[in-house]
Amino acid sequence: MGVAAKLPGPARRVAVRSTRGIVRALGLKGRSELAFWTDVWDRSIRDGNLWGERALELSGDDSIAEDYVGRRWQQARAEVNRVLEEASIDDRNYFDGKVVVDIGPGCVGFPDACPAKRSFGVDPLAEAYREAGLLLESEAVYLDVPAEDIPLLSGTVDVVVCRNSLDHVDRPTTVLSEIHRLLRTGGELILNVDLDHPASPTEPHEISRESLRSWLADFEILREQEWDHGHAGSDQPGHAIVIVAQKPL
């Protein structure tokens, strides 16, 4: 999850313009990503806010928690419900009893709040999050590895969530192959990604609908829904698509 996708419009444009050359020249993509979480996202939570549209409603609470840890857990629960809602999954017990992997969870807390039998977060910045004190205390397991090479056995995962992260990885097609390898027969991928959004230092791929379709050739698409805007906001080019796909039976 990157800086450009999370900052408000004007601040996002300034941040991208000011960092693009430096990130490309010095390979500071990871530092740029981490800076968003430490300096923007976490600071906002510490200041008494929740992040993202309808976060309080999606958390299931009536008011924002007074303490930081309480707000972090509200944010985490909201993310679980957001993923289900975006995928048009009405069953709030969908994740129960399953092995779930979240690709690029950042610090939002989906792996922590997900009511799975076993929940994993795959993020190459996971150790940096831990060192910065940004991870919740939970039963979730965070793997500090790239999504192209996940140290889990083939056919052992029931659900993979990949929300706003496929255009951030180094090799999207390799990541999708890795997801296919991990999933059990009949397992499902919940994919949410921007289409036709110009590449940036932290989002190095512009993905077209045609490319994404070809990349998902080994999956059966169960349903999909396109948004009229992307994760960067309605003032930016591109739009998101949410796909629920299955590893064929």
Residue 25 CA to its chain's centroid (Å): 26
Beta bridge partners of 243: 191, 224
Q: Into how many domains does the chain fold? A: 1
200, two tokens:
């940036």
CB-based contacts of 134, cutoff 8 Å, min separation 6? 37, 38, 42, 107
142 secondary structure, DSSP code: E
CATH code of the domain covering residue 114 = 3.40.50.150
Phi, psi at 68, each rounded to 5°:
-60, -50
3-state secondary structure of 8: coil
164: domain range? 3-246
pLDDT (tens digit, 0 to 9) for every residue of the chain, 249 residues total? 443 343 344 333 333 333 333 333 334 678 889 999 999 999 999 999 999 999 999 999 999 999 999 999 999 999 999 999 999 999 999 999 999 999 999 999 999 999 999 999 999 999 999 999 999 999 999 999 999 999 999 999 999 999 999 999 999 999 999 999 999 999 999 999 999 989 887 888 899 999 999 999 999 999 999 999 988 888 888 999 999 999 999
Residue 226 CA to its chain's centroid (Å): 17
C-alpha to C-alpha distance for 56 and 158, rounded to whole angstroms: 28
For position 15, what pLDDT does the model report?
Answer: 32
H or E element in which residue 14 lies: helix 9-26
C-alpha to C-alpha distance for 164 and 29, rounded to whole angstroms: 16
